[in-house]
Amino acid sequence: MRKLNVSCLLLTILGFGTPAFAESTGVVDFEDDTDVMSPVNPLNPSELGMEDPNNPSTNNPGPLSLNVAPLQFDFDVKTMKDSVLSYSAKDVGTQFIQVTDNRTDANGWVLTIQRNELVSKENTEIKGAKLTIPKGILRNSLHVPASNSAEDEHLKTYKVEVYGDNTPVTILSADQINNNGKATTISAWESSKVQLTFKTIITKKGSYTSTINWSLLTAPTS
Question: In the chain, what are the domain boundaries?
Answer: 35-217
Tens of pLDDT, residues 87-119: 999 999 999 999 999 998 889 999 999 999 999
Of 151, 149, 169, 168, nearest to 160 by C-alpha is 169
Counting runs of H as helices and runs of E as strands, what totals does the chain give? 1, 17
12: phi then psi, degrees, rounded to nearest 5: -70, -40
Which of 25-34, 43-52, 67-76 bottoms out in mean pLDDT, i.e. has the lowest? 25-34
Distance CA 70, CA 62 (A): 19
Of 4, 44, 19, nearest to 184 by C-alpha is 44
Distance CA 162, CA 173 (A): 17
Tens of pLDDT, residues 69-86: 999 999 998 876 767 789
pTM (2 d.p.): 0.84
What residues form DSSP beta bridges with 186? 98, 139
Distance CA 70, CA 52 (A): 9
Q: What is the 3-state secondary structure (H, E, C) of 51-63?
A: CECCECECCCECC
CA torsion angle for 202, 83, 54, 112 (degrees, to 10)?
Answer: 50
Strand, coil or helix: 95: strand
